[in-house]
């Protein structure tokens, strides 16, 4: 199954991109980096520049039907840029409309808020998003990983890089189940 990892052209937290990428590969699936621009994206280690990564597809041309699931890595700047891009927001919203599983970590729920998909859902995130999530109609919990089944889709969320091991374990299981 092909899995989209959505990141803005700059600002993604590198470990929140690379560890889920590797987990997707380890599960036998195919990761694909989708972004707002062609070329390479610039990742960060918190506030310091890290590596660059080649974009496989851009949101304006990406077809949600080609993907079985979506992963939203965090970083503070990444989801803030994504939520300002209408095509990225629609790309995210389309996964929920299609009933496909979505996973988001750290600050990534900012993009989910902008997509208007949190009402009635329970999720976790970086703690500073708690009020934003509640204002968007979601219920925030402080857990390393939370799986919410609401409507036709599954949302797997996690708080921070320290939770990556349980996050990747949870979303790979949910993605495999959804593919059946």
The residues annotated with a catalytic role in the active site are 107
For every residue of 2-32, DSSP letters joined together read EEEEEE-SEEEEHHHHHHHHHHHHHTT-EEE
Contacts of 30 (CB under 8 A, 6+ apart): 1, 2, 3, 24
| Contact in structure between 16 and 48 (CB atoms under 8 Å) | no
Distance CA 54, CA 43 (A): 11
What percent of the chain is helix, strand and coil (3-state, nearest 5)?
A: 40, 30, 30
């Amino acid at each position: 199954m092909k899995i989209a990892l959505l990141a803005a052209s700059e600002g993604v937290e590198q470990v929140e991109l690379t560890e889920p990428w590797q987990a997707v590969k380890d599960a036998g699936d195919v990761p694909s980096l989708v972004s707002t621009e062609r070329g390479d994206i610039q990742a960060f280690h918190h506030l310091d520049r890290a590596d660059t990564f080649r974009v496989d597809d851009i949101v304006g041309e990406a077809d949600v039907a080609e993907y079985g699931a979506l992963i939203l890595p965090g970083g503070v700047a990444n989801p803030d840029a994504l939520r300002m891009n209408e095509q990225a927001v629609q790309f995210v919203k389309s996964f929920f409309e299609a009933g496909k599983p979505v996973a988001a970590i750290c600050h990534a729920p900012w993009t989910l808020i902008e997509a208007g998909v949190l009402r009635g859902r329970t999720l976790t995130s970086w703690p500073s998003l708690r009020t934003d999530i509640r204002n968007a109609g979601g219920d925030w919990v402080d857990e390393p990983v939370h799986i919410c089944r609401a409507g036709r889709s599954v949302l797997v969320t996690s708080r921070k890089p320290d939770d990556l091991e349980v996050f990747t374990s949870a979303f790979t299981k949910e993605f495999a189940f959804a593919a059946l």
